[in-house]
Structure 1
């Protein structure tokens, strides 16, 4: 009985597949308008609770790189529905990180500018984060999480004494983490790397600087978790993916004007 309920639930999830900009099948059921509303609400909360950098030169660099990338989106993926306006904010936070949210929001931590030392390296990070948005990775992750929870709930209700219900749910919960959630997260990261590389090249940023960026990251953080249990690939794995995709990106870069963003 339990087996057939699981099969039925998985079949229902798989019936809603569509494709990402790279052609990978995905399941993303949350309405985009709802994702945009959640993204905007989250961004506004951060803007009002975290200190914001006001240095004009830093703001100018962040906005220039972001605008160049967003302008190139329509040329690379004209079929993707993207916001007409993107709000860019630099947060005063030493953690080297950045993010993009549905609804057209880009956040950059000031600490990233210590690692992304050129506009091209910064474009590699922001392009990667925009890649998450246009591939609807947040939507896919939320859909997966809702699906996993639904299956576990059904199993919990349906285990008629064949095995311990709690034991089965714990086992399947671990399996869903190692077998679905974490690998998909790594797949998202790799896909965003590929999209970001193509996007930065189309926008006129040198794609080879993406590899320089990850070498900078390696110098910053040599201690990484075992890759199987990590939601992010190792730095070496990311560099290998970028090198594999570099010939195509370099060809694109050679055919467009250079982006005109001045370094700090």
Structure 2
């Protein structure tokens, strides 16, 4: 019983001093170094498992948007982010600790222009900035179901699929562990401000989610889903435009005007 008690005491200490970008208290038991190592390892595995798109124009377009987003990050998050386009029909994208970004070609069916693609990439990078993967792994660890998470991913032990799911890559492994509503909403808001600072029109976030809603053909009621409904998501983004729009205008005034064309 001693180890679980110590783990809970440690968790309580960390929760008291860890805070998300929106002021939400978090449990973070894994260091940035550990998370970067896991993110890098997972990304290498994804590159082996999935088909990489080699089209030059498509890759330049995605990299243009991603580079503009990452250039406006806080200093500790800047630097070279690896961006890979995967030939996948699903309208999906992801970002991982360790400065990794993956974009599925299927996202172009809903992200019709660079501003809408910036909404998607900003959202995914928002998950990383808010330490959402570390938060989920910390909860698993304290629950007693993930005490060897780092070693599991770096090796070949049982539970590797669960670790990939916690990193946000469960779709490819049959273990879907979606981010919770609070984390999804937080990534929406962080990503919206981020894209605006990068010179992309934040109003495109609304049209992007309208496209998502149309493409989904309906979804379960919000109370039955771990994700916010498309409608509530759009309302939250519309409210956040009051903050994001001035950031966009300031970026434009400073000459930050990305020109990214597919």
- The TM-score bracket by the shorter chain reads 0.7 to 0.9
Equivalences for residues 56-205 of structure 1 within 5 A:
56-74=56-74, 78=75, 81-82=76-77, 84-149=79-144, 185-205=180-200
- Structure 2: gaps of 5 or more residues: 146-176
Paired position in structure 2 for 1:227: 222
Paired position in structure 1 for 2:46: 46
If you compute each CA radius of gyration, which structure gives the higher value, 1 or 2? Answer: 1
Note the C-alpha offset of 1:230. 2.1
Q: In structure 2, do the counterparts of structure 1 residues 34 and 10 end up closer, same or farther at CA, with 3 Å as the change threshold?
A: closer
Deviations 1:12-65 (A, max 9, x none): 422212112222211111121111111111111111221111111110111000
SS at match of 1:26: coil
Note the C-alpha offset of 1:255. 1.2
The match for 1:13 among 3, 11, 14 is: 11
2-side partners of 1:146 and 1:227: how far apart? Answer: 28
Note the C-alpha offset of 1:149. 2.9
Deviations 1:171-202 (A, max 9, x none): xxxxxxxxxxx997110000000000000000
1-side partners of 2:11 and 2:115: how far apart? Answer: 39
Q: In structure 2, do the counterparts of structure 1 residues 251 and 96 end up closer, same or farther at CA, with 3 Å as the change threshold?
A: same
Paired position in structure 1 for 2:170: none
2-side partners of 1:191 and 1:129: how far apart? Answer: 11
Contact residue 83 and residue 103 of structure 1 kept, 8 A:
no
Which deviates the most, 81-90 or 195-204? 81-90
Deviations 1:232-252 (A, max 9, x none): 111111111101111110011
- Structure 1: gaps of 5 or more residues: 151-181
2-side partners of 1:22 and 1:216: how far apart? Answer: 26
Contact residue 204 and residue 256 of structure 1 kept, 8 A:
yes
Note the C-alpha offset of 1:112. 0.1
SS at match of 2:43: helix
- Which aligned segments of 4 or more residues in structure 1 are displaced greater than 3 angstroms? 6-12
2-side partners of 1:126 and 1:242: how far apart? Answer: 15
Q: Could you tell me the TM-score, scaled by structure 2's length?
A: 0.80
SS at match of 2:141: helix
1-side partners of 2:179 and 2:8: how far apart? Answer: 16
Q: In structure 2, do the counterparts of structure 1 residues 26 and 113 end up closer, same or farther at CA, with 3 Å as the change threshold?
A: same
1-side partners of 2:131 and 2:105: how far apart? Answer: 26
SS at match of 1:27: coil
Across the aligned residues of Structure 1 and Structure 2, the Cα RMSD in angstroms comes to 2.4
Paired position in structure 2 for 1:253: 248
Q: Could you tell me the TM-score, scaled by structure 1's length?
A: 0.79
Note the C-alpha offset of 1:8. 8.6
